[in-house]
Amino acid sequence: MPIIDLRSDTVTKPTDEMRAAMARAEVGDDVYGEDPTVNQLQELAAERTGKAAALFVPSGHMGNLAAFLAHCQRGDEIILGNLSHPFNSETGSLAAVGGIQPFTLPNQPDGTLRLEDLQAAIRDDDVHHAVTRLISLENTHNRCNGVPLTAEYTRAVAELAHARGLKLHIDGARLFNAAVALGVPAATLVADADSVTFCLSKGLCAPVGSVLCGDEDFIYRARRARKQLGGGMRQAGILAAAGILSLTQMVDRLAEDHARAARLAEGLMEFRDFVVPAPHTNIVRFRMAEGSQVDPQALTAALAGEGVLLDYGNYEGFRAVTHHGVEDADIESTLAAVARHL
Ligand SMILES: *Cc1c(COP(=O)(O)O)cnc(C)c1O
């Protein structure tokens, strides 16, 4: 049975070119800074994000956590969205490992945090207070329907943060989806941020890895944090070789994923059982319409029985993510399968 796996873009497999590049990658011990392929990936990532330096990390989660540890001391506070990935899907690691307190603000439907909410959340210097150290934004915003944040918004938050002595981090797991959707370079989207992490292992198809970028001092501290987290890797150039191709070959094609997501949403909107907001990038989120008699869990299971895999959560509703392994015909097959089971 052919499988159409729309659960996530993390299910993408390395391309044949990636496997070939991995097989012949020049490697060294990256804990000594001696893996030439890792160094090449880091230079490329720094260039693409417009930062001075970069650090290859095993996951987006570790990239965020290493950034938080590099920016903050124990007892400090980070302001982030209530729908953000670090707050919801990273095992509470910023608190558990970093001793850092999250201060959450409501994410607006467009993925932003209101500037007035941010201003009000930054604590005054007072012996009672935690020290507000960092604002963390997410671009694209996973739970907010994959919406991209604009360069203008990010600049406004950076100005606000810097005026109050804070730093700004961008969880850019899908930063290149944002860049493609908005038609601006990734570096422009994060120009005013102090740090940014992005995933190679999602729509960009690498098997493993993310990159954290920032200035030299920050990356020095982040390297130490990565080591503290047990994330120092040795001949990691095998993995970095795939990541280089992610950045040089896989970015522009994200537009195809966005077009397929739009087509999927358009098809789903025709079923009266669903409420389907128009997608912005490669993430289609939809939920049952009020009054629908369809049981979403049973529908998800029935579709899985036919090889169409969707993500469903009681809180988040349905999520379908398009990626390199999903073709135009798969979108039509998915819609046909849904029609059979409604
Ligand atoms: C996937 C994701 C991460 C974490 O990446 P992993 O590599 O899975 O650890 C962080 N932030 C967002 C918004 C994500 O979607």
289, 330, 275, 334: which is closest to 145 by C-alpha?
A: 275
The per-residue pLDDT string of the chain (342 residues; one tens digit each, 9 = 90 and over) reads: 899 999 999 999 999 999 999 999 999 999 999 999 999 999 999 999 999 999 999 999 999 999 999 999 999 999 999 999 999 999 999 999 999 999 999 999 999 999 999 999 999 999 999 999 999 999 999 999 999 999 999 999 999 999 999 999 999 999 999 999 999 999 999 999 999 999 999 999 999 999 999 999 999 999 999 999 999 999 999 999 999 999 999 999 999 999 999 999 999 999 999 999 999 999 999 999 999 999 999 999 999 999 999 999 988 899 999 999 999 999 999 999 999 999
- Does a structural domain hold residue 66? yes
Domain span at residue 323 reads 253-341
- Does a structural domain hold residue 1? no
Query: Of 200, 234, 249, which residue sits at a domain end?
Result: 249
Average pLDDT, the chain: 97
CATH assignment at residue 79:
3.40.640.10
Looking at the fold, whether 235 and 273 belong to one and the same domain comes out as: no
Looking at the fold, whether 235 and 330 belong to one and the same domain comes out as: no
User: What is the C-alpha separation between 90 and 79, in angstroms, rounded?
Assistant: 15
Looking at the fold, whether 36 and 101 belong to one and the same domain comes out as: yes
Query: Of 234, 249, 264, which residue sits at a domain end?
Result: 249
Looking at the fold, whether 71 and 209 belong to one and the same domain comes out as: yes
* Ligand 1 binding pocket includes 169 (Cβ within 6 Å): no
Looking at the fold, whether 181 and 300 belong to one and the same domain comes out as: no
- Does a structural domain hold residue 308? yes
Looking at the fold, whether 83 and 20 belong to one and the same domain comes out as: yes
**How far lies 57's CA from each of 15, 41, 201, 231, 309, in Å?**
21, 11, 11, 7, 29
The protein residue with its alpha carbon nearest to ligand 1, atom 8, reads 60
Which one of 56, 59, 61 would you pick to mutate in the ligand 1 pocket, going by the greatest count of ligand atoms within 8 A of its CB?
A: 61
Residues 6 or more apart from 314 whose CB is under 8 A from it?
none
- Does a structural domain hold residue 230? yes
Ligand 1 atom closest to Cα of residue 138? 13
The pLDDT, as a whole number, for residue 205 is 98
- What pTM value is reported for the model? 0.97
Looking at the fold, whether 174 and 302 belong to one and the same domain comes out as: no
Which one of 89, 143, 169, 229 would you pick to mutate in the ligand 1 pocket, going by the greatest count of ligand atoms within 8 A of its CB?
A: 89
The pLDDT, as a whole number, for residue 105 is 98
Expressed in angstroms and rounded, the spacing between residue 339 Cα and the centre of ligand 1 is 32
Looking at the fold, whether 40 and 132 belong to one and the same domain comes out as: yes
Looking at the fold, whether 48 and 183 belong to one and the same domain comes out as: yes
Expressed in angstroms and rounded, the spacing between residue 314 Cα and the centre of ligand 1 is 20
User: What is the C-alpha separation between 320 and 139, in angstroms, rounded?
Assistant: 18
Query: Of 249, 276, 302, which residue sits at a domain end?
Result: 249
146 CA to centre of own chain? 9
* Ligand 1 binding pocket includes 59 (Cβ within 6 Å): yes
Which one of 56, 84, 145, 171 would you pick to mutate in the ligand 1 pocket, going by the greatest count of ligand atoms within 8 A of its CB?
A: 171
- Does a structural domain hold residue 6? no
The protein residue with its alpha carbon nearest to ligand 1, atom 14, reads 173
- Does a structural domain hold residue 245? yes
* Ligand 1 binding pocket includes 101 (Cβ within 6 Å): no
pLDDT digits (tens, 9 = 90+) for 262-308: 999 999 999 999 999 999 999 999 999 999 999 999 999 999 999 99
Looking at the fold, whether 244 and 257 belong to one and the same domain comes out as: no
Looking at the fold, whether 187 and 329 belong to one and the same domain comes out as: no
Residues 6 or more apart from 245 whose CB is under 8 A from it?
15, 17, 18, 21, 206
- Does a structural domain hold residue 91? yes
Pull the structure tokens for residue 147.
Answer: 């919406």
CATH assignment at residue 258:
3.90.1150.10
The protein residue with its alpha carbon nearest to ligand 1, atom 2, reads 173
Looking at the fold, whether 143 and 24 belong to one and the same domain comes out as: yes
- Does a structural domain hold residue 120? yes
The pLDDT, as a whole number, for residue 315 is 81
* Ligand 1 binding pocket includes 140 (Cβ within 6 Å): no
Pull the structure tokens for residue 321.
Answer: 């993510």
Number of domains in the chain: 2
Q: Are the CB atoms for 64 and 57 separated by under 8 Å?
A: no
The pLDDT, as a whole number, for residue 113 is 98
pLDDT digits (tens, 9 = 90+) for 19-51: 999 999 999 999 999 999 999 999 999 999 999
